[in-house]
Structure 1
Amino acid sequence: MAEREQILADFQACTGNENIEECIVILEQHEWNLMEAVQAAMSGDFDSPRVGSPPIDISPPNGVNPPSYLDAVHGASAECLAGPLRSADPGGSASLQSLHERIAHQVAFASTSLSPPIRLLNFNIEYRDRSTTLRVPDSETIGKIKVLLESQWGIPVAKQDLCGWVDKANKRITDSDVLRDLHLPLDTTLFLLTPELMSTSQDSASESTENTLAQRLDQMYSLNIEFTNTHKDFQLNFFGRKTIQEVKQDLFSLTDVPVRYQQWHGWPEGASDSTTLAEAGLQLPSHRLLLMSNRPSNENEETADAESIEDFEDAHDSFVEDSLDLDGDGPLVRRPEPLMMEDAANQTEALESFSHEFGSRYGDCHPVFYIGDLECAIKDSLLCRAKDRKLLAIYLHHDASIQANVFCSQILCTESVVSFLSANFITWGWDLTSPANRARLLTMCTRHFGSIATNTVQNLRPDELPLLLIISRNRGSNEVMQAIHGNTTLDELMTHLLHATEVFREQQTLEIQEEDERNARETMLAEQDAAYQESLAVDRAKEEAKRIEEEQRRERENREQRHLEDLEKDRQHEMAQKEAIRQSLSDQLPDEPPCNCTEPISTLRIRCPGGGMLVRRFLAQHPLQVLLNFVASKGFPCSEFKLLTTFPRKDLTLEDTRKTLQVLKLCPQETLIVEEK
């Protein structure tokens, strides 16, 4: 891959073509042969590779320095083309002249500064439930990425906010920043936020009709619904991908009127239950609807509750604006189970029920809820080691809130939110629908967060839920960093989560440093305490042994004195024996031959272990035993020492002592070494 990037950079330098896609197509047509690709680009032949064509002459023109010429061709690296350029056949043409002019321009530019090699960066862009991958050279700007996203998704550049830059903590990122200056890795994941897109689309009703269907699916539609039975008005916002059937199901949660008993007025003509809001042709910026219930009056409350409940998959109701024709033969299904059991024995059992029912309602793609009581969740997220800490996200749910289904299905369970929560948070959920479960949560809040947070949760109304609380720890206490309500959009939620994560990372860095310093201090104190305890133990042992030692001191001194006297006697006896042996050997040695002796003489230098040197002359006909006796007479007996030649290294104590010095090649002179065995 690095070799192809270099070839691409060389090709752009030679041809001056800044269109990367076109350059890659030409190079692939010619199997990444740089010479053939340059020749095809100069001649305008882009359709088929010219295999076997003779190489063109792109040698330096007259007056141009060859090294500078090659550097300009290769962008400060002439190794790829140096061989072909020097071996090219001479020739000329209009294309060749143009090529020379381009390269001369590169030479003039290279004389001032040489551009670094271009890198192709991979950007994985996540936007709501969509994602795409872009490959952009690091010579482009951030604005280029936004232009590519606008051409692909139709989102205006001015409405785009890219988050997730690794360099964002150091400086403010602008569209004019060059990617090379940010020192990005080859692979980068970014999040695209469009906080102003929804308001702009609602204010421009005339322009929204010209948007594509894909754009309208992500558009927010406002429905003003009047419930005539109770004279209540509901102002609800839905994404365009929401179907009319799903809107009816959401209104069932709000009004307790089953879908089959709902009678609507105001839907556009031709719309069915499976029609999305984007396809229905609703009025902008808001659409008004009338809802009434035609539940039979002679049906008692208990029977109605048992027979009028449908789940979210009941899409077989007849869509009419006048009275509904129901014969009672259609299948009836049970109301979805509550997210959390009222009679759960403990928090763990309640949260297992919550996680299971949440997945049954909203699918497998949902946040991974922590299974365990709130105290354990706080310990695992906020009270562990500083480098292992995560933010704690507490999700509070209420089935009576119309925003619950919209928030969970359209926002909380999107892939980008789920992956971000899993990587940076520990998520703990609780259902406030049941009064008993609400009371249990208030008790937990009082214990872990104090009375202020408890009063805030206690005063929450169902229409203020769902709620996502971001919990952090500051100065030894747990505190609510952010409270995100269910009426937020996906972009706003991601913005809140990213901001909370950035603030937490800065705080975590300081906490890691403080924890390391604290651990170092504690380790030092522990070592000092251990040393002090060890010193006390030694002192006690000394005091305990002092009495016994005082009693046995005289006996020990007498025993040691006797032992020393025995050792001294043995040493003196041994020295006397050795001295006698040395004297005997010295007496047996023949006289040292004079310097003017006519017989062959061997002059030996003997290096002693202590650094001293012995020098003596021997007759070449003397046996080896004479030499060994001389060494032993100097205090180095063969039983304890060995006599070695220097080169080749040989132990003379292992040789036949009857051999003469001449036979052993120790004449006319030699240096020997005495070593301990």
Structure 2
Amino acid sequence: MSENKEETLASFQNITGIDDVGEAFSHLEAVNWNLMDALSRVMPHDDAPLAGPVQQPEPPARSSLAMESTNGFLPPGYDELPGPSNAGFFAALENRNQNLTMHQAHLHQQQQQRFPTSQLLAQLTSSINLDPVSSHNNNQNVIAFNIHFNQQLYRIRLPSEATVEQLKRKIFDVTSVPVCRQAIRGWPPSKASEAQQPEARIGNLDLAPENELILVDLTDDGFMDTEQDEVTQRSDKIFTIHIQFESESLTLSLPGRTTMQALKMNVFDIKSIPVRHQEWTGWPSGCDNETTLAQSGIELSHRFAVRSTAGAAQNSTSSQHNSTFEVVNVDSESSADEFEDATDFNNAEYIFTDSPPTQPLNRHLIPNNTDDETSGSTQFVENYKSLYGEPCPEFFVGSLESAKQLACLKSAKERKLLAIYLHHGKSILTNVFCDQLMKHESIIQTFKEKFVLFGWDLTYESNKDMFLSSLTACISSNASLTARNIKLDKLPAIMLVGKSRQLGSNCEVLSVIQGNIGLDDLLTRLIETCEMFEEQLQVEIRQEDERAARDQVKAEQDMAYEATLQADMAKDAAKRQKEAAQLAERKRLESERAEEDARRESIRLVAQQSLPQEPSELEAGISKIRVRKPTGDFLERRFYTHNSLQDLLNFVTAHGFLIEEYKLISSWPRRDLTAIEGSQTLETLKLFPQETVILEER
């Protein structure tokens, strides 16, 4: 059984071209080692019925790729390759394809009896006609896709009811990237999750009639289906990292939350290879130093290859002379470890540039694998001045985002253009451009007055990728695509970026000046772009002035209103204070009045209680006293003649006429009775048998 599995595994790899033994093993295990079912999982389904044995789609020839591309780009270094190497490589590819075809025919003959042709056709064909031209429904909606991959543009047109899986099959037809290794970017954000479902119809993804998508080849070394194993769950798992150096290997066990930067530091601690000199092979596309092992999409057990670039500069001369390349054929008898460690055979760029020719140290301005933009910008400026001397333009030192804020994110009157100088040490135009054009006084003065000048070196791919990612984040994906599409023979180049009123807070590339230009033309292009940009800003400046005038008037009105409001508030406060004082005074007076009334009432009650009993008219020795009040009314009472004057005074007090406020006057002789001793009797004072006395206010 083990021999059958090994034979099935070898057949599966030969037919599908999957070099990763682990991935091939997982596909066969999923279908219980049924070869035809495993092939149907990974092989693309053709839209037309199969007329013969299953065959591996041939990769597009060089001429067809060039014709398919709209920008004419080929892999870096393609045209510069020597003839014998090209011939050897294509001969090897042809030999491999012939062997695969013969093996597939033999396999098909063996499987013909066990698997009916109709079943195979049902698995490998699609229910929808994916060719819009030959569709019977002339009114069928057609959606166009521009697929960007490896600096090539591939155009695909599908009916709206086609699925995402069928789109990926079409992509396979033109790019030879298997469906299982395709990662597509550029879907509408609201439909990004739905676009990950193979059965999702493209007509339901809110797509435009023509769409720009980016294809990323998730290589065998780095691909796994993270949708089935969430990153949050993988973060706590232990990853076994096998690292192959030039002469030895290393195995590390690290948690999934370990970042690429931390992994590189571990290698530095163990092998003493500085991070900037570490060149890694095996990371999936889109990873950076902050990407964790869980986020990268690698398997829990994964292999990397690491080599030190520290000696690349010393070996550059010999590597330039050794311009012939060998095509290594992997023997079927090779071990599984050697097979997994081998580089992807379909990656022609890697084969042709096995060890990329390193330019002399004085040609690049930023070292390979620079950690961050700020340090790279600092080294760029220092090396530029050291290499080309003074005078030189005033380059901004810092990140691209900081340069953008300094130039573009200001008011219209203070705003400048952002000039991005793109350097390349391998371009034949570099020395002339930097020694002559960039040293001219008019160019230096124009950059200083009108621009914020940011410089970057694209010589190394690692630095180029980091810059393009930053350019996408800071400016736009179109700006990144523009920089990527500048050919080597047109570098150095200057991208002029600005922000106008129509774009809000976003910026756009206004012009690209390529290195094959003269001094007068360069100065003219810079001035013309400045004039065009300033003309666009005039409207915004005028609006800013009008807005400032309105704000000034509004501020003055607000100040006047505030002053009036403060005066009114002061008046209200004074009024409230006065009312509060008056209220307090009234309460005080009322309190004093109440106290006085209580005191008078107390005196009256005491006087009333001290009055003697009034005698009757029939008794002897009585005196009848009449008291005339200030109002003219009379009070009248009988007293005994032996009653005292105080008893008479108490009678008057008991009726509310306090002696301290009133005087009691006798008519004849006129006497102030309140001034006489109160103990004297009425008889002594001759106030009998009757008498009339008068109450007067004091």
Provide the TM-score with structure 2 as the length reference.
0.31
- CA radius of gyration, larger in: 2
TM-score by length of 1: 0.32
